[in-house]
Amino acid sequence: MKSDFVFLKLDADLPSSWNLKSKFNVTGYPTVVFANEKGEEIDRIIGSREPDAFVASMRKILNQKNTSFDEKKSKADLNNDLKAAYEVGVAYLKRDQFSLAHFYLLKASRGWDSKDQRRNKLLTAQLGINAKLND
């Protein structure tokens, strides 16, 4: 699996990292961004993880390597793909972009029943919006 990745580590405090931090909207540390060979984001891991959990997340992301975030967003926007809408919503939620997360998660929720556990993500986005409004 190690040969499937190219590792790049940046010091977030150095000006040389600011362009990439801005491009990938990195706001918290540690953040690991997984991008394809075109530099398009596939997914990210925010926060620390136990090694086994981190490797499991890497394996999951490796299975998605052929679909960038922008491609998922296009599927959600243009094709009304509810699975893609959920994945885009979760990606925005990871970035603390609560309004965008709420939009896509609400769109995805059209396919959920009332007990679907994914509704917790939608509620998290709503709480994030409320928290920002109260700041």
Q: What is the mean pLDDT of the chain?
A: 88
Report pTM: 0.76
pLDDT per residue as tens digits for the range 39-61:
888 888 888 889 999 999 888 88
Say whether pLDDT at 9 is over 90. no
- DSSP of the chain: -GGG-------TTSGGGHHHHHHTT--SSSEEEEE-TTS-EEEEEES---HHHHHHHHHHHHHTTTS-HHHHHHHHHHS--HHHHHHHHHHHHHTT-HHHHHHHHHHHGGG--TT-TTHHHHHHHHHHHHHHHH-
